[in-house]
């Protein structure tokens, strides 16, 4: 509860998935919460993932069994909570004798001792054993299990080179990563949290029983906030917050690992993904993306400075192209890349020799020395964000005696209150109520907003009733929703995080949207500040 002097229970630094997930969980347990994000929600790591809820099949080779089991269990929990922005996908894993381990994996080292004649090869029996564990470690009720698949004269084999004769097919899930963050922030607000975007934390001064946090918003206005506790979920900047803003003597470090992706026009006709294994031991995915495209990624490269914007380098682009060209019949070139993106994973520095080997598990460090407590959050996977938030609340529970227990497991996110298999019915209902919608337009709205799509379209009998058309079915009514309900401030927020319509609008259309949003913010400054 907020005290009379304005002191809140938690002040969360960082509007990525970890910060918003913790804010939502805490607000749902009755704590008063303020969250500050210096840019846009999901502006950094949380909008630059491979867009998968997955257990992490390759992590089995690092013996990360607890992490994989937790992630596998979470897949179906999350599917039920957000069936509009997450859905099951089947992954095709072609096999060939040239597959190799990364040299520093525990599995590779073990087999090198007991089966030296394998010379680093990844045998098919080991892949099948890994997939058996993948099917059984977390239990499955919704997702189908692994099967063997012929690549001869099948749709799955058609895009691949003739040397690939069979594959294994298994289940994981897609997720719209940046929308996941926004929906967590919205649910936190619905439960009483205050979310501030475009708000940088300038300093945090520690006292015996509270923190004084100074922030500056996008208009240059400086404010002070009091909180009983801080949560540092600043992602790539977690180390800078510890050393610079909080001025702590913590020895824990963060390892920044850049992951880059490329997007091409659609490379094949079916809706399954590919899991490709390289001769260097690494893996990449090729995934159907936004109906007309294919997403290929990711890389693992060290990234030294969080202040340097991560970009997919020409070398990383060519690595991904060369990797894909080892599998696809059609040989890709740089001219086939229509977009690329890159994000920095803020992993806990566990001393691993390579970026690929660094743990993807999360680490939570509670510091109560010298005054009011602070929780520093390192690492984590998007799949385990909800469990990370639960673990964070468990960690801070002693600070708040009588704190209620976990609640998010059975709670849907905004718009997700319908069955996992209910998308087609929602699309049909939306089109019946608004006959001017095309199938594709209605599906896009349902995939973004779920049951809330009806509220955006409320009262519209024609497309004209939705106001200005910015292109690619993006209308004034939808942009107003995004500004008023989802903290969108700029065209970039709408086109690359609340959606991926930036792939479809040209530069002129994007500029027109930016101008319109700026004019609306100027007309309604109070509403813009609230968002």
Tens digit of each residue's pLDDT (9 = 90 or more) over 354-412: 555 566 678 999 999 889 999 999 988 899 999 999 999 999 999 999 999 999 999 99
* pLDDT tens digits, one per residue of 250-294: 777 788 999 999 999 999 999 999 999 887 778 899 999 999 999
Per-residue pLDDT band at 527 (split at 50, 70, 90): low
Residues ≥6 apart with Cβ < 8 Å to 354: 102, 104, 300
DSSP bridge pairs for 33: 10
Cα end-to-end distance, the chain, whole Å: 23
> What token pair was written down for 189?
């607000």
Residues ≥6 apart with Cβ < 8 Å to 117: none
pLDDT score recorded for residue 100: 64
pLDDT score recorded for residue 56: 83
Separate counts of helices (H) and strands (E) for the chain: 15, 20
* pLDDT tens digits, one per residue of 218-254: 999 999 999 999 999 999 999 999 999 999 887 777 8
Phi, then psi, of 260 in degrees rounded to 5: -115, 150
Pairing assessment for the beta strands 8-13 and 33-36 based on DSSP bridges:
parallel
pLDDT score recorded for residue 123: 73
pLDDT score recorded for residue 496: 98
Does residue 90 contact residue 169 with C-beta atoms inside 8 Å?
yes
Distance separating alpha carbons of residues 218 and 110, to the nearest angstrom:
54
Question: DSSP class of residue 493?
Answer: I
Residue 319 pLDDT exceeds 60 = yes
Q: Which of 12, 29, 10, 16 is nearest to 411 (CA)?
A: 29
Report the range of poorest mean pLDDT among 69-73, 214-218, 438-442.
69-73
Per-residue pLDDT band at 96 (split at 50, 70, 90): confident
Distance separating alpha carbons of residues 223 and 333, to the nearest angstrom:
51
Residue that has been written with the tokens 């709670």 in this structure:
411
Distance separating alpha carbons of residues 208 and 211, to the nearest angstrom:
8
DSSP bridge pairs for 229: 10
pLDDT score recorded for residue 249: 83
CATH superfamily, with its number, for domain 7-45+178-253+359-399: FAD/NAD(P)-binding domain (3.50.50.60)
> What token pair was written down for 217?
């918003």
pLDDT score recorded for residue 129: 85
Domain ranges of the chain: 7-45+178-253+359-399, 84-174+255-348, 422-524
Q: Which of 226, 248, 266, 291 is nearest to 438 (CA)?
A: 291
pLDDT score recorded for residue 531: 45
CATH superfamily, with its number, for domain 422-524: Alpha-glycerophosphate oxidase, cap domain (1.10.8.870)
Residue 353 pLDDT exceeds 60 = no
Percentage above 90 pLDDT, the chain: 76
pLDDT score recorded for residue 528: 47
pTM score: 0.93
More confident residue, 85 or 345: 85
* pLDDT tens digits, one per residue of 174-209: 999 999 999 999 999 999 999 999 999 999 999 999
Q: Kindly state the average pLDDT of the residues 427-446.
A: 98
- The C-alpha angle with vertex 117 and arms to 111 and 122, in degrees rounded to 5, equals 50
Q: Kindly state the average pLDDT of the residues 126-149.
A: 88
Residue 34 pLDDT exceeds 80 = yes
Look up the CATH number of domain 84-174+255-348.
3.30.9.10
Percentage above 70 pLDDT, the chain: 92
């Amino acid at each position: 509860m907020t005290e009379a002097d304005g002191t809140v229970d938690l002040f969360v630094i960082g509007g990525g998935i970890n910060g918003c997930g913790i804010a939502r969980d805490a607000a749902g347990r009755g704590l008063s919460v303020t969250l500050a994000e210096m840019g846009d929600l999901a502006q950094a790591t949380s909008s630059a993932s491979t867009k998968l809820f997955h257990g992490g099949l390759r992590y089995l080779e690092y013996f990360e069994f607890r992490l994989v089991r937790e992630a596998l269990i979470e897949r179906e929990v999350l599917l039920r909570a957000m069936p509009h922005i997450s859905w099951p996908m089947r992954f095709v894993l072609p096999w060939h004798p040239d597959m190799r381990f990364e040299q520093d994996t525990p599995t590779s080292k073990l087999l090198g001792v007991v089966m030296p004649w394998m010379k680093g090869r990844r045998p098919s029996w080991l892949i099948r054993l890994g997939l058996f564990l993948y099917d059984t470690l977390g239990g499955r009720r919704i997702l189908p299990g692994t099967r063997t698949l012929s690549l001869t004269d099948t749709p799955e084999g058609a895009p691949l080179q003739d040397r690939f004769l069979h594959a294994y097919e298994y289940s994981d899930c897609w997720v719209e990563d940046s929308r996941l963050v926004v929906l967590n922030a919205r649910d936190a607000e619905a439960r009483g949290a205050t979310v501030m975007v475009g708000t940088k934390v300038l300093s945090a001064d520690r006292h015996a029983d509270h923190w004084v946090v100074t922030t500056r918003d996008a208009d240059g206005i400086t404010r002070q906030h009091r909180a009983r506790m801080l949560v540092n979920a600043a992602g790539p900047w977690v180390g800078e917050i510890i050393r610079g803003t909080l001025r702590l003597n913590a020895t824990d470090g963060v390892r920044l690992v850049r992951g880059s992706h490329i997007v091409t026009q659609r490379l094949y006709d079916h809706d399954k993904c590919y899991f490709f294994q390289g001769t260097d031991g690494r893996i990449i995915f090729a995934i159907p993306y936004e109906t007309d495209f294919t997403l290929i990624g990711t890389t693992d490269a060290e990234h030294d400075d969080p202040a340097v914007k991560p970009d997919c380098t020409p070398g990383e682009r060519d690595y991904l192209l060369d990797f894909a060209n080892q599998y696809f019949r059609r040989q890709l070139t740089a001219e086939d890349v229509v977009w690329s993106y890159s994000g920095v994973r803020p992993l806990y520095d566990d001393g691993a020799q390579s970026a690929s080997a660094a743990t993807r598990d999360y680490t939570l460090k509670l510091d109560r020395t010298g005054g009011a407590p602070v929780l520093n959050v390192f690492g984590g996977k998007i799949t385990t964000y909800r469990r990370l938030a639960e673990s964070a609340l468990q960690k801070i529970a002693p600070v708040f005696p009588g704190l209620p227990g976990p609640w998010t497991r059975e709670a849907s996110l905004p718009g997700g209150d319908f069955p996992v298999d209910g998308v087609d019915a929602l699309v049909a209902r939306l089109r019946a109520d608004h006959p001017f919608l095309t199938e594709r337009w209605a599906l896009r709205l349902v995939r973004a907003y779920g049951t809330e799509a009806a509220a955006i379209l409320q009262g519209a009998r024609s497309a004209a009733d939705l106001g200005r058309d910015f292109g690619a079915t993006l209308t004034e009514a939808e942009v107003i929703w995004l500004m008023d309900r989802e903290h969108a401030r700029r065209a970039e927020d709408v086109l690359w995080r609340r959606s991926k319509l930036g792939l479809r609008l040209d530069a002129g259309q994007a500029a027109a949207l930016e101008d319109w949003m700026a004019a609306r913010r100027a007309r309604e400054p109070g509403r813009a500040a609230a968002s």
